[in-house]
Amino acid sequence: MWLPEMGVDLVTLEILSRRGLSFTILSEEQVQGEVHGDAGPYRVRLPGGGFFAVFVRDRQLSNQLSFATDQIAAGREWLADQVRGRQGLTLLATDGETFGHHHPGEEHFLHWLLAYEAGAVGFEVTTLTRDFRDNQPESEIEIVEYSDDVKEFLENLFQPAAIKNVMVVNKNDKRLAYVEVANKDKGIAIGRDGRNILKAKMLAQRHHGVDDIIIQ
């Protein structure tokens, strides 16, 4: 199941599970836990018991394929350079209408890339259904839950850091979020090399149009 804008929460995963669906696709910034450098599948624990499977796409490669094909001089060299040394499954996932609708003619490039160039550099093209059948999820991860309430969503983004207050304001034509974090948890909120705050800014902008987040 490809969720709209990849908006996800545990209630949604519970519903998908009850409807007999097996997995969904999320982006790497939407999950927390030990992602072992490949797409999975991984499992997410559901509140009602049991698990739901998640594949994790490579956001950078997916975006390059979607929005920067004019900069990809040769598909074979691009593939070889981007996925050299990778183990396991590399997942490129993007909106289908990107090819042929938003970018007329690029559906031919996509076909050539998958049908010919991938195999030429030693990679097998597969489907998630086939991979899921052959590789059941073992490692457990958590998701960053979506909420229509921007303040609640921001709190979710920074878990498990203790958030004392969230204030969202419009200033100089920008939507800014001021997030007050307990002193002992500021390192968690920012993350190693700023990874957590960068992830939070990306998701807040995508789902709620927040232009910047300021940690206080």
Q: What is the pLDDT of residue 69?
A: 62
Q: What is the pLDDT of residue 76?
A: 59
Q: 41 with 77, same domain?
A: yes
Q: What is the pLDDT of residue 72?
A: 61
Q: What is the pLDDT of residue 12?
A: 92
Q: Of 120, 146, 172, which one is at a domain's C-terminal end? A: 146
Phi, psi of 165 (to 5 degrees): -165, 150
Q: For residue 191, give its domain range.
A: 150-215
Q: 16 with 122, same domain?
A: yes
What CATH code is carried by the domain that includes residue 4? Answer: 3.20.110.20
Q: What is the pLDDT of residue 43?
A: 92
Q: 162 with 123, same domain?
A: no
Q: 134 with 163, same domain?
A: no
Q: 157 with 72, same domain?
A: no
Q: 133 with 67, same domain?
A: yes
Q: Check: CB of residue 151 under 8 Å from CB of residue 18.
A: no
Q: What is the pLDDT of residue 6?
A: 82
Q: What is the pLDDT of residue 175?
A: 93
Q: 133 with 174, same domain?
A: no
Count the residues in the chain.
216
Q: What is the pLDDT of residue 35?
A: 76
Q: Of 105, 131, 146, which one is at a domain's C-terminal end? A: 146
Q: 8 with 87, same domain?
A: yes
Q: Per-block average pLDDT, block size 10, for the chain (216 residues)?
A: 85 92 89 79 90 90 72 63 74 80 76 79 86 89 84 85 90 91 88 84 87 91
Ordered DSSP codes for 9-70: -HHHHHHHHHTT--EEEEEGGGEES---SS---EEEE-TTSSEEEEEEE-HHHHHHHHH-GG
Q: 29 with 128, same domain?
A: yes
Q: What is the pLDDT of residue 87?
A: 74
Q: What is the pLDDT of residue 85?
A: 67
Q: 86 with 35, same domain?
A: yes
Phi, psi of 33 (to 5 degrees): 130, -170
How many domains is the chain partitioned into structurally? 2
